[in-house]
Chain A
Amino acid sequence: MKRASLVLLTLILVLATGLSACAPAPATPAAPAEEAEPAAPAAEAPPALDVVKWEYPASFGGVTINLVGDAGHNLKPYEFWKGDFEKVGITVQIIEVPFEGVYEKEKTEFVAGTGAFDVVTFYPAYIGDFAGNGYLEPLDEYMAKDPAGAWDPNASDVLAPFWELYCKFGGQVYALPIDGDVLMLMYRKDLFEHPDEQAAFKEQYGKDLAPPETWDDWLQIGEFFTREAGETLAGETLERDFYGSAEFAKRGFSFAWFVNRWAAFGEPYFDENMTPMVNSPNAVKALQNMVDSLKNAPPDVLGYGYDELRDAFIKSNVAMVVQWTDVPKKGADPTQSEIAGKIGVGRVPGWEVGGQVVHRSLMPVGRVVAVAADSKNKEAAYWVAKHVSYDRSLEDVSTALTGLDPYRTTHFTNPQAYKMFPTAEEAQAYLKGVEAAMADGYPEIFIPGAAQFEDSLDLHVNKALAGQETPQAALDAVATEWDETTDKLGRDAQIDLWRKALEAYRTLGLIK
């Protein structure tokens, strides 16, 4: 008995040691950086492109800039261009916080007035809260400094929704964009185009197999492609189960996948008087569709956040997902993906409204970079923000090393920069897909209280997905909590801000 237990314990230890020694296959080593002007990028960095013209400002004389943002690949640009910062006497100290914890961390430090950060990266839905409370430095003055090559972030190059909604509050600029998020449909082109699958679909449903146009199609196609190990898919026997679709169903941003479905009905979050519209019959129908779709998803889908949803798709486990637009870039990179060259992109499905299908893609997250009002090195902090937002932005959005997405005209007119795609045509098709998704773009709630509104919506959507509440009960609870939040923040002030937000949404064509 004693010997057997010891053998078992030893085995566990050996196994644990073995697991700790596992590592992914090494990526192709980057070419050694050459001495060049401007400063050479860090070892693992995209190659510098000579598309955007910019110049260095005078040295800031050796200052340290504390920068905070969500941990992971989207903070890499500050490492890529470390040499540029050093060249003007700036050392960037990066403080990473979890993806879901950005608001809490930054807000806590702002309220406490610690002055811990010079540069803050955050999701633009919080701009009303942060700028409205005076935590951010207005940037107009810095943007107008001379020489323009060093200070002008070239706002006219930024797509209007990203500039107007992401960066401005009360008519002033408080932030610069670094990530233009929008959700898009991506699917396995090879499966949809396979003759056997097309024939089987036609026989089963009496219509042609094509990327889903409506959310009802999403359920139908999802059901069609859901197969067990041993069954055939595109002429090959499956070694493991395969699923038709998957969702972001973990707490955090699951609300976005619900809003994709709901927004197509043309109902904004609130009416003109801040009465929540989130428990309308259409909203309930949308949430029911999302709940129903889980039966075509991997059994662990309730644990799927961004990473899991991306991997399920690019590791060839599901046929279609709605995801952020960086995923096709990663999917085209054979060092990260098992389906390189097999990804099709398209519009997020919609609903038939008034005889035509209306599509809507939420623009969740996004990232902007701003200067903290209590920073002691505001000029240097601004230049760090401007350098990433404009000077090096094409490099940052066109690499598979980050999760940053296009937000400037420059990013769409240089398909040659997206080298993960084997041909310029494929890069162009990807960019066209992103443009189409943006044309369907639907905004988050850009007024103070956005974090609370979205947190409440996310919690109850998640409870509906987990079977803890019915869609109707979940959305009724959201409506009640939204009303409470509005009352707490001051109904009259919120109504005024919401009307302005609605006007901006309409002006920008985000709500039609």
Chain B
Amino acid sequence: MSWDLSRLEGGAYFIGLGNFVTLVNDARFWNTARVSLIFVVGAVTLEYVLGLGVAMLLNQQIRFRRFFRVAFLLPMMLTPAAVAYAGRMLFNEGMGPINDIIRHLGGPQIPWFSNPTLALPSLMLLDAWEWTPFMMIVLLAGLQSLPLEVFEAARVDGASDWQVFRHITFPMLVPVSITVVLIRALEAFKLFDIVTVMTGGGPGTATEPVTLYAYLVGMKNGNLGYASAIAYALLVMVVIFSMIFLNSLRRRAAAGE
């Protein structure tokens, strides 16, 4: 069905699978799918690594531990649009404080969002600022639920910090990690607010995710039928991604890794 709100006479007319045929041949859609996928993999990986690092740090007996736990949660409490506007000021390439600090340290002016190659990684960085605390808080809860006896036994056997992490902490955190990575990945596929405020999908189509494309097609061009087809395609992408992710972990678990 194609609902086309841009037509003067409005209304809907049946076109069968026409929108899906168009979708398969739509180069712009495939580019947005690529952007979404790269963003999900890049941003979630970054958030996981940083979140795990901070969680391990805050799992130590350190001073002001409670203060830091709360302080690190603050970005997560902001709406993505607010994060994006804050990011727009902080990362402003000519007059923003981040580039200013880099300049004072002798570094170059970094074209965070205006370079087609750098723009997507910059969006990942901004997303990581907001969502690393989510990773951190869940992983911290996971770390605190691990049995202490295993760690004590490893220390008695003379295991190094890295060996403890590699062979005990990380494997025992895998169930929590799978959950948290999957939740964040599903969320990251829905990237919209940050990219809309920061780049509008540009430069060119360098940062245009599937969600923004569906929005423009549906809301700006009034073609709700095709926008729905794009949204269905996103659903399929998310399901396939989740299945591949879970299956690969299951295979590793079965192989005893």
A residues bordering B, Cβ < 8 Å? 2, 5-6, 9, 13, 19, 22, 98, 100-101, 103-104, 107-108, 111, 129, 132-133, 249-252, 298-304, 308, 311-312, 315, 317, 448-449, 451-452, 455, 459, 462-463, 465-469, 485, 488-490, 493
Contacts and interface: CB of A to CB of B under 8 A. Distances in A.
A468 B204 contact: yes
B203 interface: yes
A102 B215 CA distance: 13
Contact of A299 (B60, B109, B201, B220): B109
Interface centre among A111, A302, A304, A317 (most CB of B within 10 A): A302
Nearest to B223: A488
Interface in B74-126: 90, 92-95, 97, 109, 111-116
B81 to A, nearest CB: 9
Interface stretch (B5-13, B32-40, B182-190): B5-13
Contact of A107 (B197, B201, B219): B219
A107 B204 contact: no
B206 interface: yes
A459 B204 CA distance: 6
B178 interface: no
B207 to A, nearest CB: 10
A466 B116 contact: yes
A304 B197 CA distance: 13
Contacts of A6: 57, 62
Contact of A298 (B4, B94, B196, B205): B94
A474 to B, nearest CB: 9
A455 B216 contact: yes
Question: SS class of chain A's interface: helix, strand, loop or mixed?
Answer: helix
Nearest to A449: B6
B57 A251 contact: no
B8 A489 contact: yes
A89 to B, nearest CB: 34
Given A311-B95, A317-B94, A489-B6, A2 B203 contact: no
Contact of B62 (A2, A299, A467, A489): A2
Contacts of B206: 466, 468
Contact of A462 (B10, B94, B97, B202): B202
Interface in B34-64: 54, 57, 60, 62
A312 B94 CA distance: 8
Nearest to A317: B94
Contact of A300 (B6, B94, B97, B116): B94
Contact of A132 (B8, B68, B201): B8
Nearest to A252: B200
A138 B50 CA distance: 58
B114 to A, nearest CB: 4
A298 to B, nearest CB: 6
A465 B203 contact: yes
Interface string B1-35: 00011111110000000000000000000000000
Contacts of B202: 250-251, 302, 462, 466
A300 B201 contact: no
Nearest to B161: A1
B71 interface: yes
A196 to B, nearest CB: 26
B222 A302 contact: no
B10 A133 contact: yes
Contacts of B4: 488
B102 to A, nearest CB: 13
Contacts of B219: 104, 107-108
29 contacts: A98-B197, A100-B200, A111-B5, A111-B10, A111-B222, A133-B10, A298-B93, A298-B94, A299-B93, A299-B114, A300-B93, A300-B94, A302-B115, A303-B111, A303-B112, A303-B203, A315-B95, A317-B94, A448-B8, A449-B6, A459-B205, A462-B202, A462-B203, A463-B205, A466-B204, A468-B206, A469-B204, A485-B6, A485-B221
Contacts of B111: 299-300, 302-303
